[in-house]
Chain A
Amino acid sequence: MTLAARKLGVTGRSLVIGIPFAWLLLFFVVPFVIVLKISFATQIIGIPPYTDLMDWSGGGWWPTFNIDTYNYEFLLSDSLYTVAYLTSLKIAVVSTFLCLLVAYPMAYGIARTSPRYRNIFLLLIILPFWTSFLLRVYSWMGILKYNGLLNNFLIWTGIISDPLPMLHNDFSVYLGIVYSYLPFMLLPLYANLERMDKSLLEAAADLGASKTRAFFTVTVPLSIPGVIAGSLLVFIPAVGEFVIPSLLGGTSTLMIGRVLWDEFFQNTAWPVASAVAIVMLLILVVPIMVFQRFQMRED
């Protein structure tokens, strides 16, 4: 604790801690408890469209519990959900890997550029991070559609003679995720590669290692923390992605974020949507905890 913090006294300190703590507790942690609760409720037609978990109508000190595991049994019994979870995981893993393949050489190149140009490149990778996600995903619709810009261009050059189906399938979803999340992979990778001690590479060269060998035995192992941080920043949100599969995906691209959305908005099945969310959280809890470790280490 710093001197200023100590001088603040107990009341002052509790106030500074209390405001953000209370906000996040009430609006981030408590909502999960409620989702958990509602995932065990029974679906009814009414407002709200689920039963209360605890029934106090019997009187006495203790309520009767109406715990209903039906929603989870339902998720297991209907293969749609299992397929959607597996598809989402597959799409997230593959797109994270593709993102890494595109981002690594870029981040490496930028980190080794002279400082003058480095800031310009850095601004160029930060800018998309700030511009509208929704509009950036939308911009691919005109490029990929059947009579869209890319097909027209390929036909004009004579590479293909008939338009290729590039929109509303798995290909466009992969492309959309790699495109949208690329800055999330680039920034931590760049930060890691830029900090790397260059003298280690000189030492490797002095000891007779070729450039390629030095890259694979020195640079790559040292960049692993950046790779992990970037991959988690892409992988975790990609699993629950909604906008990309609904704008670029086809009817067969079943991702769990979209399933949750439809359960909620089209079927008004709040308890099922809650169970879908809880299972998604269980899948993501390990990656989120690893990510959180990385954040802690930063402090």
Chain B
Amino acid sequence: MTKGNSLFVKIMMLLGFVFLYAPVLLLMLYSFNESKLVTVWAGFSTKWYAALLRDEQILDAAWLSLKIAAINSTIAIVIGTLAAITLVRFGKFLGRTMMTWMIAAPLVMPDVILGLSLLLLFVSMSAVIGFPEGRGMLTIIIAHVTFSAAYVSVIVQARLSSLDRSYEEAAIDLGAGPVTVFRTVTLPLIMPSVIAGWLLSFIMSFDDLVIASFVSGPSSSTLPMVIFSKVRLGLNPEINALATIVISLVSVGVAVAGIVLARQAAKANNPGGMGAAFAQAAD
């Protein structure tokens, strides 16, 4: 299957994939361990899953994180798509360089800097204009949208710039206004990348510990914050069970979305689909 590759490359690929997947698979295996000593196998048991379902703190945090992630991604795809259209379709405009910079920098900016700076903004804003009042879900959503929109923009930009403009031009020639063109031509064509952007924003928000810790209030603990406070004390079998559920759901979701989007892209005669979109996004 990898005819062109030398033995060395094949071995490196094998080791690389073992390295990427073994820790998570072991974690999943040991989530079914009877023993409280997480790393000593003492027989099969689902008791940590039962304990997890009774843990109000984790369930509340998970619900809060899901709500934040869903609202975040929905706002982020609007802002990110607008930014992508601006950068790909509007040619030169005042502030274009600034916009490119504001889209690229959040992708690599360390979380501690983003978190600290947003917290200080929220504190200053509430002192000057009284908004946001206190910190919690709203401030976490605003913080998450800021970096999520940048990711959405990069993914949608990759798709937009590879699109054939003649579809849009044809629609205009036929008398469609710019809003109609966007709604009936551009948006359906970029939809796979918008969906990919929504999913990525959802996951990034659901996974964020550092930024949420800075901008959240005392009453709003997200799931990663609860996980972190538990695991920094050491291994925790309940967290293994939780990790197994989260990672399985995400993997199945991404695999299904990846296959569906790749099929759609193949139909649109654009091979690569989401995989290509991500390769480009990270490029």
Contact = CB atoms under 8 A, between A and B. Distances in A.
B27 A24 contact: no
Interface stretch (A68-76, A78-86, A257-265): A257-265
B86 interface: yes
B251 A145 contact: no
A252 B178 CA distance: 59
Interface in B1-47: 1-5, 8-10, 12-13, 16-17, 19-21, 23-24, 26-27, 30, 38-40
Contacts of B145: 23, 27
Nearest to A24: B102
Interface of B: 1-5, 8-10, 12-13, 16-17, 19-21, 23-24, 26-27, 30, 38-40, 78-80, 82-83, 85-93, 95, 98-113, 116-118, 120-121, 123-124, 127, 142-143, 145-146, 149-150, 153-154, 157-158, 161, 165, 168-169, 171-172, 177-179, 181-182, 186, 199-200, 203, 206-207, 209-210, 213-214, 224, 227-228, 231-232, 234-235, 239-240, 243, 246-247, 250-251, 254-255, 258, 262, 274-275, 278-283
A124 B39 contact: no
9 contacts: A26-B121, A27-B145, A125-B20, A129-B278, A138-B231, A139-B24, A264-B214, A298-B280, A299-B161
A179 B207 contact: no
B82 A179 contact: no
Given A24-B103, A192-B283, A149 B250 contact: no
Contact of B79 (A19, A110, A190, A192): A19
A145 B1 contact: no
Interface string A241-281: 11100110000000001001100110000100110010011
A260 B116 contact: yes
A127 interface: yes
Contact of A260 (B19, B112, B172, B232): B112
Contacts of A20: 79-80, 82-83, 86, 99, 149, 153
A35 B116 contact: yes
B146 A27 contact: yes
Given A23-B145, A38-B120, A142-B240, 17 more contacts: A2-B168, A4-B178, A5-B90, A8-B178, A19-B82, A125-B20, A132-B250, A143-B26, A145-B235, A183-B20, A187-B278, A187-B281, A237-B108, A239-B110, A242-B111, A277-B117, A288-B108
Contact of B168 (A4, A23, A143, A182): A4
Contacts of B100: 292, 295-296, 299
Contacts of A132: 206-207, 224, 243, 246-247, 250
Interface string A148-166: 1100100000000000000
A137 to B, nearest CB: 9
A232 interface: yes
Given A21-B95, A29-B102, A243-B209, A130 B203 contact: yes
A207 to B, nearest CB: 20
The 3 residue pairs across chains A and B that have the minimum distance between CB atoms = A240-B110, A31-B117, A1-B91
- Which of under 10, 10 to 19, 20 to 34, or 35 or more describes the interface residues of A? 35 or more
Given A1-B89, A243-B210, A179 B23 contact: yes
Interface in A189-229: 190-192, 194, 226, 229
